[in-house]
Amino acid sequence: MAEVELKNIEKTFFGGLVVALKDINIKIPDGVFATILGPSGCGKTTLLRVVAGLERPDSGEVFIKGRKMNKVSPSERNIAMVFQNYALYPHKSVFENIAIGLKLHRYPMYEIRKKVEEVSKILGIEKLMDRYPRQLSGGQQQRTALARALVREPEVFLLDEPLSNLDAQVRDTTRTELKKLFKELKATILYVTHDQIEAMMMSDFLVVMNQGMIRQSGEPYLIYRDPVHKFVAEFIGPYRINMLSGEIVEKRFISSDGSISIPTNIKKHPGVLMGIRPEHIRFGEEEEIFLEGEVFLIEPMGPNNLISVRVRENALRFLSQEAPDLYKPVSLSFSPRDAYFFDSQNGLRLRDK
Amino acid sequence: MKRILLYVLFILIFLYCLFPFGWTLITALKPTDEVFNLPVTYLPEEVSFENLNNVFYKRPFYRYIVNSLIVAGGATLLTLWIASMVAFRLRALDYQKAMRVQKWTLIGTIIPPTLLVIPFFIIMKKLSLTDNYLGLILSYTALNLPFAMWMLHAAFRQLPRELDEAALIDGFSPMGILYKIIMPLSKPSLSVTAALVFIFCWNEFILALTLMPSETKYTVPVGIAMLSGTSVYEIPWGEINAAVALTTLPIILILAAFQRWIIEGLTQGAIKG
Amino acid sequence: MNRLIFFLPFFLIFLIVPVPVSSQVLLRMIGPEDIGGAWAEIIDYFHQSHPEIKINYISGPWSTDERQNMYIRSFLSGDPFELVYMDVIWTAKFSENGWLLPLDKWLPPEKQKEFLPGDIGAGYYKGRFFRVPVRSDVGMLYYRKDLIPKPPRTWGEFEQLCEQYSHPPDRYGIVFQGMQYEGLVCNYLEYLWGAGGTLLDEKGNVLLETPENISTLGFMKKVIDKGWAPKSVITFQEQHCLEFFKKGRALFMRNWPYAWSVLERSPLKGKIGIAPIIHKAGRESAGALGGWGLGIAMGSKNPEASWRFIEFATSIESQKILHMRRGAVPSRKALFNDEEILKESPHYRDLFEVLLKARPRPVHPDYPRMSAILQKHVSALLVGIESPEEAALGMDRSIESLLRGRKKPWPKRLTLDYDLHKTLINTSLFTFLSVPFEFLLGLIFALLLDLPFKGRSFGRLSVLIPWILPTAVMAMAWQWMFNNPFGVINDLLLRAGLITNSLDWLSTPEGAMFSAIFADIWKTTPFVAIILLAGLQSIPKELNESLSMDGGGPLMKFFHLTLPILMPYIRVALIFRIIHAAGIFDLIWVLTKGGPADSTRTLSLYIYDLAFRYDEIGYGLFLTLLFLVALILISFIIVRATTLKYERITQ
């Protein structure tokens, strides 16, 4: 159980050419399952590696359980890491792979054997002890990598996109298993992924990153509901948010083509992007904001369909179980409370005063 | 029809490559007078080991073999040791930077040792290492390092960096990573490099001639070349052939053992060049 | 910390009081095989009276050149052999390089008078004295006084007597030292001096492109061509001549005084006479001054001890032992009046007179190198490779460029260095004949090995063999295979009916070059083949198939598909091969040593000789540098020339 804190971390590569981490300040409470989420290249893996000690930050401080870790080597930080490609030692058996960390920390042999057995049982690989990594399936390799991390009983677990190498089906079941597994542990988990559904499903604490900076952190649902940045709104959510450009004048948002008008508490703002999630739009006239347009594309998604509707110059997408005819006029509605407004220059969320 | 032609060609190639060696062997096994038969006999009328015997006891030939083993073995170990450390470090760098460094050492692989005799001699003399095993070992190491670094670097790079990182987290020291993880996983490349370096040192002539002038310290090639230099009248051809056969046989055996890897290693190195 | 302090006194003791490893002084000298045990006896007596000094007589090769090289190597390596047993001609070079300790204080002029003047003179260089003569020597003519009325004085008389009395092959006219070594130069100089010619004039200029020289060379050649001397003289040194003459197979023998005692103990006892060397009519006879002496190496740790031994070894008693046991000619005048000696060798009275007139070879620090040049050309003359005019020209040019070049700064020397030019020609010839053939063959091999067939890996294995065997060792095998007449190559060609007489591969310039190229191609073809094979295997099959579908025949495929893809591989192989071929040493040094007559001497051999035999390390390094630069340039050019456009674009 350990809280992880990063203060003012900066990290660049290639002598300043590439900025990986900028102004990172975050405190992850202990015992939570924290996910670091973001598109590729956002710096999430770098952040993880800084915590692990595999990268040294250019400036800033790393704290684990309140102790400053900047000068401490990875093996002394009481952490364990599961790599994206598992990084199992090909020339060692499953047993040896799992046991190696303990051996290097000079645990006595009988204790090592006991712990390895325990952990293998938990992960269901106790029958594979003598095999070598190349004789294992992807899933088995992953569980071995997990076992290797688990057996160390660290205070912080670091997982670098552990599911991205698995088939879609396996990924689903593994996700649940992982969540169950880690719930029973008392360690802090730092989990890196680019899959926001995964992030939403598994984490207690979510950190959204983009371009080396943390955009928002906190409880997943809150982030979903109340994004502070256009990027977060666009990234989080099962389907891509609809963004309309316009401006706010006299407490009303007017879209650029003038077709949509929404009341708001914000007085005035020149360049504005309005976001509205597909989940919040419906056919019909139930909600306050009422639009008319015509359907131009229907994407069936099993139980639901993704309907694309053109309203004047704007295109809106939303979910519905219906499947109306194309090119016929339809009505849509949504609540103004579901609308988010962002400054079109810097992407920050506009709030009423 | 084409098949037969091909097979004939292959046999010709085979003969071409092995004939000198085979002929040497045959001559070595002939008794001394038969060696000088005219016309030449192709199969020894009687197989005799007297040439082999003489070579071993008349000249301290076994000493030459010991010397060669010391020098070649020592140089191989030293080269591999240094090269593995350098390759390990290079591997940690990103590819561009590492290649820039390697490009400079490339010059080392091209320069033939014959051009470097004089500088080597002067250096070794200043270090008082002439006529000393260490002098030759160091020289061979210097000559082979570029090649060995090249090979090992390429081999090490095949291994994902994540292995190093997992090892770091597990608690390996950097040297530990090199010796317990990287090297065991690169055994094929290590063996090939070791074999090639060893063969190079075993075969090397001009440096051995210059840096080890006393007879008791001759390496095998020098020893054989000097076999005819001292006696004026008679050149002991039977013995010379025996010595040649003795020397070349082990090399052929090593070749057979490592052949697949040697070819791979050669071509890999060549392409990267 | 305390432990360190505890050990400190021990270290201090070792610093102050050097641990005597051994209290005995060890002095080493190199000499020829001690036939007769004269040296063993001398050293034994010395040990008895000087127990604290141990003398190690190292028995070295017969060839004086080899022994000289051994001394030079020991000087260069920093651990010189303390007692320098020197030939008469080594003094200049050794002292010029500062390798000898001056001995003036130990043998002042009063004491020098006890020795023969010529021998003492041979110990001086630039006014200082370095070498105490142990034994003297002069070249002279032995003749069968039972077969010939009186000895010839002139060349003309000699020719007449040979015509009259010799009938080869049972009995030849004369036998002399004709092998390529210092002895040959003695013979040659005696004829040259006898013709009124000389090597250098008073100003030190080379004087070899003269009629005297050409007539000398012509005479020597005539002696062989007319069969007055057996063809095998070109392999004879002193001992072979002696054997030959002893068996009664020649009327005359040119040799040193030592032969007398051997002959007097043979069936020819009483039938031998000695005379001064023949000369051209109207000129003077001159025998070459020989002999050996002892000097002390500069930098030896105990010169006093060395002097003790030298004093002992050059005393009257020691010289007498050398004479009695070995037939050595003493260098002390007193011994020529010694009763015992005169009883055994009454001819010593005459010998004394000849000795007083013995003529030294040119005193010049570069004499060894000049001698090497002379040896080479006279040998080429005798073998028939060069005519007298060619030999004279060659000698003159080489020595002249040597002497002139010595004084010039290196860059200027490049244009003067005749040997260098020859070397460059040889190297280019070798490289540009060898490399194309290797590539051709290598390509064929690679194409063949690319085809799928059973035992392919076996084929690859055998192809590697030539490359992986040590060059130097295989060169010995090739020497044997090219041997005349026992070599297998001659045999195969004879059996195949392609030649009627076995060819002399390694003793003719063309043959030697051919053999070297042949051996090199044998060795390096596999290397090229393997690299090209790798290239062939990198050609994706689909390209091949697609080209077939487009209607490409094998020839077109080769030029449009195979060759372009092979380019990087060809480039690599080409660079490696050219650099290696240009720098070739192992093969040639062992196979031909650069001979015959420098026809296979390549650049690296020349540089090696410069550094380790001619003691011109600086110039050698200079040439190495130029060579390296040239190679790098060539590599660049090759890369440029063979990089195809598509490679440049995608670079």
* Omega prior to C169 cis, within 30 of 0: yes
Which own/partner pairs from C507-511 qualify as long-range (CB within 8 Å, at least 24 positions apart)?
C507/C383, C507/C596, C508/C385, C508/C596, C509/C385, C509/C596, C509/C597, C509/C599, C509/C600, C510/C599, C511/C482
Q: What is the dihedral of CA A215, A218, A224, A230, to 10 degrees?
A: -10
pLDDT value at residue C430: 92
Average pLDDT (C255-259) is 85
B163 neighbourhood in chain A, CB within 8 Å: 87, 89
B5 part of contact set with chain C, CB < 8 Å: no
CATH for A4-235 (1.10.10.10, 1.10.443.10, 3.20.20.70, 3.40.50.300): 3.40.50.300
User: What is the b/e burial string over C320-339, where b = at least 16 CB atoms within 10 angstroms of the residue's CB?
Assistant: bbbbbbbbbbbbbbebbebe
| Spatial distance between the Cα atoms of C489 and C522, rounded to a whole number of angstroms | 14
Smallest CA–CA distance from B204 into chain C, residue:
C470
Tell me if the bond preceding A108 is cis, omega within 30° of 0: no
C638 class by beta-carbon count within 10 Å (0-12 exposed, 13-18 middle, 19+ buried): middle
The pTM of the full predicted model, rounded to 2 decimals, is 0.74
Residue spans of alpha helices (H) in A185-286: 196-202, 220-225, 230-235
Could you tell me where the beta strands, DSSP code E, fall in A233-288? 242-249, 252-255, 261-263, 269-276, 282-283
- Counting CB pairs under 8 A, whether chains A and C reach 3 or more, is no
User: What residue spans define the domains of chain A?
Assistant: 4-235, 242-343
Q: For residues C620 and C630, what is the distance between their CA atoms, to the nearest angstrom?
A: 15
Which residues in B lie closer than 8 A to residue A116 (C-beta atoms)? none
* The A242-249 sheet, strands edge to edge: A261-263, A252-255, A242-249, A269-276, A340-343
Average pLDDT on C125-147 reads 89
Q: What is the pLDDT of residues B199-232, one digit of tens each?
A: 889 989 989 988 887 777 888 888 888 776 544 4
Query: Hey, are the CB atoms on C463 and B117 less than 8 Å from each other?
Result: no
- The neighbouring-strand residues paired with C219 are none
All residues of chain C having their beta carbon less than 8 Å from the beta carbon of residue B220 are 470, 473
* Residue of chain A whose alpha carbon sits nearest to that of B165: A54
Asked if B96 reaches chain A (Cβ–Cβ under 8 Å), the answer is no
Q: What pLDDT is attached to residue A21?
A: 92
Position C341 pLDDT exceeds 70: yes
What is the distance between the alpha carbons of residues B262 and C488, in angstroms, rounded to a whole number?
Answer: 32
Q: What confidence score (pLDDT) does residue C436 get?
A: 92
Q: Return the pLDDT at C464.
A: 80
Say which of C453, C468, C473 has its CB closest to residue B255: C468
Give the separation between CA C482 and CA C508, rounded to whole angstroms.
12
pLDDT category of residue C350 using cuts at 50, 70 and 90: confident
Alpha helices in chain B (DSSP H): 2-28, 32-35, 50-58, 61-92, 95-110, 117-126, 133-157, 161-170, 174-176, 183-185, 187-203, 206-211, 220-225, 237-272
Which sign does the torsion angle of CA B121, B126, B130, B135 carry?
Answer: negative
Chain C residues whose CB is inside 8 A of the B136 CB are none
Predicted confidence band of residue C290 (pLDDT cuts 50, 70, 90):
confident
- Which among B6, B199, B255 is the nearest to C453, CB-wise? B6
Residue C378: both structure tokens together: 């006279």
Q: Is A353 exposed, middle or buried (0-12, 13-18, 19+ CB in 10 A)?
A: exposed
Beta-bridge partners for A189:
A33, A157
Gap between the Cα atoms of C518 and C364, Å rounded: 41
Closest CA relative to residue C112, chosen from C135, C87, C142, C132:
C132
What's at C591, amino acid-wise? L
User: CA-based angle C101:C107:C111, to the nearest 5?
Assistant: 160
Per-residue pLDDT band for C84 (boundaries 50, 70, 90) equals very high
CB contacts < 8 Å between B and C, how many? 214
Residues 26 to 65 of B: which have CB under 8 A from any A CB?
none
CA distance, residue A14 to nearest chain B CA (Å): 10
Residue C231 clears pLDDT 60, i.e. is over it: yes
- Whether the CB of B18 is below 8 Å from some CB of chain C: the reply is yes
Give the mean model confidence (pLDDT) for residues C275-298.
88
User: How much of chain B, in percent, has pLDDT values that exceed 70?
Assistant: 88
Within 8 A of A79 by CB-CB distance, chain B residues are: 169
Q: How close B160 gets to chain A, by Cα (Å)?
A: 8
Whole-number pLDDT of residue B273: 45
What pLDDT score was predicted for residue A209? 92
Residue to substitute from B9, B147, B203, interface C, most C β-carbons within 10 A: B203
pLDDT reading at C531 higher than 80: yes
Residues 6 or more apart whose CB falls under 8 angstroms from that of C568 comprise: B271, C535, C647
pLDDT value of position A48: 92
Residue B9 sits at the chain C interface (C-beta within 8 Å): yes
Question: Residues A245-300: pLDDT tens digits?
Answer: 888 888 888 888 888 888 888 888 888 999 999 888 888 878 788 888 888 888 88
Q: For the segment B225-273, what is each residue's pLDDT rounded down to a tens digit?
A: 877 654 444 567 777 888 888 888 877 777 777 766 666 666 655 555 4
Q: How far is Cα B135 from Cα B131, in angstroms, rounded to an integer?
A: 7
pLDDT for res C519? 92
Q: Which of B162, B168, B170 to mutate to test the interface with A (most CBs of A within 10 A)?
A: B170
| Residue length of chain C | 651
C and B make contact (3+ CB pairs below 8 Å) = yes
Q: b vs e for C192-222, b when ≥16 Cβ sit within 10 Å of the residue's Cβ? A: bbbbbbbbbeeeeebbbebebbbbbbbbbbe
CA distance A279 to C11: 89
Q: Answer whether A91 touches B (CB < 8 Å).
A: yes
The sheet carrying A205-210 orders its strands as A79-82, A156-160, A188-193, A33-37, A205-210, A213-218
The segment(s) of chain C belonging to CATH 1.10.3720.10 are: 416-649
Chain B residue with the nearest C-alpha to that of C466: B17
Question: Given an 8 Å threshold on Cβ–Cβ distance, is A104 in contact with B171?
Answer: yes
CA of C573: which chain B residue's CA is closest?
B270
- Asked if C576's CB is within 8 angstroms of B213's CB, the reply is no
pLDDT higher for B19 or B273? B19
Measured between CA atoms, how close is B192 to chain A, in angstroms?
Answer: 19
Measure C78 CA to nearest chain B CA, in Å: 7
Q: Alpha helices of B127-217 — where are they, by DSSP H?
A: 133-157, 161-170, 174-176, 183-185, 187-203, 206-211
Tell me if residue A91 falls in helix, strand or coil.
coil
List the structure tokens of A151. 């057996």
Cβ contact C469–B251 (<8 Å)? yes
Residue ranges of chain C assigned to CATH 3.40.190.10: 23-137+290-356, 140-287+366-403
Task: Give the pLDDT of residue A350.
Answer: 87
pLDDT value at residue C651:
47
pLDDT tens string A24-51 = 999 998 889 999 999 988 889 999 999 9
Whole-angstrom distance, CA of residue C585 vs CA of residue C583: 6
Give me the mean pLDDT over the B155-175 stretch: 88
Q: How many CB atoms lie within 10 A of CB B74?
A: 18
For residue C261, the SS3 value is helix
Dist. CA C628–CA C630, nearest whole Å: 5
Query: Under CATH, to which class is C416-649 assigned?
Result: mainly alpha
Q: Report phi then psi at C171, rounded to 5.
A: -135, 120
Q: Is residue C650's pLDDT more than 70?
A: no
Contacts for A169 with CB less than 8 Å, ≥ 6 apart = none
Assigned token pair, C648? 């440049």
In this prediction, residue C8 carries a pLDDT of: 65
Considering only CB atoms, A85 lies closest to which of B162, B167, B170, namely: B162
Residue C635 has pLDDT above 50, yes or no: yes
Which of the residue ranges B207-211, C480-484, C487-491 has the most confident prediction, judged by mean pLDDT? Answer: B207-211
Identify the residue whose tokens are 């099959």. C541
Contact A315, A308 (CB under 8 A): yes
The verdict on B175 touching A (C-beta cutoff 8 Å) is no
The structural architecture, per CATH, of the domain C23-137+290-356 is 3-Layer(aba) Sandwich (3.40)
Q: Could you tell me if A159 and A82 are in contact, meaning their C-beta atoms sit under 8 angstroms apart?
A: yes
Distance between CA atoms of C301 and C322, rounded to whole angstroms? Answer: 28
Distances in whole angstroms, Cα of residue A299 to Cα of each of A195, A240, A283 = 22, 14, 16
Question: What digits encode the pLDDT tens for the residues C499-527?
Answer: 777 777 887 888 889 999 999 999 999 88
Domain ranges of chain B: 1-48, 51-272
Tokens in use for B187? 């055994």
User: Mean pLDDT across chain C, nearest whole number?
Assistant: 84
Which residue does chain B place closest to A55, by CA atoms? B165
What angle (nearest 5°) sits at the alpha carbon of residue C480, between those of residues C479 and C486? 130
Fold entry, domain B51-272: MetI-like fold (1.10.3720)
**pLDDT at residue C18, rounded to an integer:** 46
Q: Is C179 exposed, middle or buried (0-12, 13-18, 19+ CB in 10 A)?
A: buried
Beta bridge partners of C342: none
Q: Could A100 and B165 be called an inter-chain contact, meaning their C-beta atoms sit closer than 8 Å? A: no
Mutate to test the interface with B, among A55, A72, A75, A153 (most CBs of B within 10 A): A75
Which chain B residues are closer than 8 Å to A97 by Cβ? none
Q: Work out the minimum CA distance from B179 to partner chain C, whole angstroms.
A: 30
Phi, psi of C250 (to 5 degrees): -145, 155
Task: Using the predicted structure, report yes or no on whether residue B108 has a pLDDT greater than 90.
Answer: no
* Of A154, A164, A159, A145, nearest in space to A48 by CA: A159
pLDDT tens sequence across C5-52: 656 665 665 555 444 455 678 888 988 888 778 899 999 999 998 888
CATH value of A242-343 in 3.90.1150.10, 2.40.50.140, 2.40.420.20, 1.10.287.4070: 2.40.50.140
Nearest CB neighbour to B185, from listed A84, A91, A100: A91
For residue C616, the 8-state DSSP code is -
pLDDT digits (tens, 9 = 90+) for A148-175: 999 988 889 999 998 888 888 788 888 8
Q: Is the pLDDT of residue A141 over 60?
A: yes
Higher pLDDT, A306 or C464: A306
CA distance A293 to A327: 9
Q: Is B179 on the interface with A (CB under 8 A)?
A: no
d(CA A115, CA C634): 65
Q: Answer whether residue C269 shows pLDDT above 60.
A: yes
Residue C204, token pair as written in the block: 């030190």
Q: Collect all residues of chain C within an 8 Å Cβ-Cβ radius of residue B232.
A: 62-63, 237, 239-240
CATH architecture assigned to C140-287+366-403: 3-Layer(aba) Sandwich (3.40)
Do the chains contact at A104 and B170, CB–CB below 8 Å?
Answer: yes
Looking at the predicted structure, is the pLDDT value of residue A137 above 90?
no
Paired tokens of C620? 């050698």
Whether the CB of A147 is below 8 Å from some CB of chain B: the reply is: no
| pLDDT interval class at C252 (50, 70, 90) | very high
Chains touching B by CB (3 or more pairs below 8 Å): A, C
Q: Check residue C485 and give its pLDDT.
A: 67
Please tell me which of the candidates B160, B167, B169 has its beta carbon nearest to residue A79.
B169
3-state secondary structure of C161: helix
pLDDT in the model for residue B140: 93
Please indicate whether, in this complex, the C-beta atoms of B171 and A90 are within 8 angstroms of each other: no
Q: Which of B21-35, B36-50, C102-116 has the highest mean pLDDT?
A: C102-116
pLDDT over 80 at C648, yes or no: no
Chains that touch C (3 or more CB pairs under 8 A): B
Please list every residue in chain A whose beta carbon sits closer than 8 Å to the beta carbon of residue B168.
53-54, 73-75
Radius of gyration of chain A (CA): 24
